[in-house]
Amino acid sequence: MNFASTSGHTLDLGDNVLRSKSTVRSGGPNVERAQLTTESPLTRDSAKPLRGVAAFSLIELLVVFSIITVLAALIVGLSSVAGSKAKQSRARAELAQLVTAIQRYKSELGQYPPDNAITSASGDTVVDPAQNQLYYELAGVVVNNTGSGSFQVAGNPAPITSASVKNWFHRDGFLHAAADPKELKPYLSPKASQIKRVPLNGPASPPNGPEVLIAPTDAPKGSRFGTINPWRYVSTSPTNNPNSFDLWAELVIGKQTIVVGNW
C-alpha cells in the first residue's frame, strides 16, 4: 500500500494491502482515513458464494431404510428355511443309516429286532414305540451269567440287570447277545450324541431308564421324556409297513411337527 504526500514522497507498505485515494497533508492536524481496497487471494476466495454440500433428502433415506428392512426380512426367512431343510436332511440321513442296519440284522439273524410289545390279560398287544431296545439289539450285548445275570453293550461301561430288561422291554433278554464279545457283530456304531438315557418318572426326574437312539431335534412339547426325542420303532404288526417294520421320528421345525419315517 502506498501513501502519497503533498511533498511528493511515496510510502510503500507492501503490495495488496491498502491503496489510498486520499492524501496526507504534511503538517496538517487531520489525516484522512485510508480506504480498504485489499485484493488478497484469501479475501477473494472468502467473498465467493459457498457451493452446496451433497446430502440425502428425507425421502431418499426412507427409501433406503425400507429396502434394508425388506432385505433383512428375506435373509432371516431364507436362513430359517435353510435351517429347517438341514435338520430334515440330517434326520433322513440317520433314518437311512438305521434302516440299513436293521435290514442287515434281519438278513443275518433271520428276523427284525424285537420291539417293546406288551400283551395284556385280554390278549391284546400294545407296543411302546418310544421306549424300545433298538440300540441294544443293533449294537450287540455281552451276557454276564455270573450271579443274577446282566448285560452290557460292548464299549459301554453301564451294565443292565436282567430285572431292568424285564421292566423296560418286557423281555427276558436280547436276541443279539453273546457271552464272548468276539461273537457279536455290531450292525450299528452310533455316536455318543445319538444316544440318550431316558427318565422313567417324568421329564424332571433323573435319567434312570434305558438308552435309546435319538433323533437330531428336540421332542415335541409334552413328551414324557422331556426334550429327549427317541426314534420310534414297531416290528409287531406295523401300520405302514405290514411286512417289515415302522421306524420314525417327530421333528419340531419352527412351529410345525414333521414326521420323518420309512414309508
| b/e per residue 49-79 (b: at least 16 CB within 10 A) | eeeeeeeeeeeeeeeeeeeeeeeeeeeeeee
- For strands 232-234 and 246-253, give the pairing: antiparallel
What are the pLDDT digits (tens) for 71-90? Answer: 877 776 655 556 678 888 99
Query: What distance in Å separates the CA atoms of residue 187 and residue 32, rounded to the nearest whole number?
Result: 116
pLDDT confidence of residue 20: 42
Q: Say if residue 5's pLDDT is above 70.
A: no
> How sure is the predictor about 119, in pLDDT bands with cuts at 50, 70 and 90?
confident
What are the pLDDT digits (tens) for 28-60? Answer: 444 444 444 445 554 555 555 555 556 778 888
pLDDT confidence of residue 74: 73
Long-range contacts of 113-121 (CB under 8 A, 24+ apart): 113/137, 113/138, 113/175, 113/176, 113/233, 113/235, 113/245, 114/169, 114/171, 114/175, 114/235, 115/233, 115/234, 115/235, 115/236, 115/245, 116/168, 116/169, 116/170, 117/170, 117/236, 118/170
Q: Is 104 exposed, middle or buried (0-12, 13-18, 19+ CB in 10 A)?
A: middle
Distance of CA 152 to the CA centre of its chain: 35
Of the two residues 54 and 121, the one the predictor is more confident about is 121
Query: What distance in Å separates the CA atoms of residue 33 and residue 253, rounded to the nearest whole number?
Result: 91
> How sure is the predictor about 254, in pLDDT bands with cuts at 50, 70 and 90?
confident
pTM exceeds 0.85 = no
pLDDT confidence of residue 10: 47
Phi and psi dihedrals of 2, rounded to 5? -115, 135
The DSSP-derived string for 42-97 is HHHHHHSPPPPPP---HHHHHHHHHHHHHHHHHHHHHHHHHHHHHHHHHHHHHHHH
pLDDT confidence of residue 22: 43
What are the pLDDT digits (tens) for 184-228? Answer: 999 999 999 999 999 998 888 889 999 999 999 999 999 999 999
CA distances from 104 to 97, 109, 173, 186 (A): 11, 8, 20, 10
Dihedral over Cα of 111, 114, 115, 119: its sign: positive
What are the pLDDT digits (tens) for 155-186? Answer: 787 889 999 999 999 999 999 999 999 999 99
Q: Say if residue 121's pLDDT is above 90.
A: no
3-state secondary structure of 34: coil
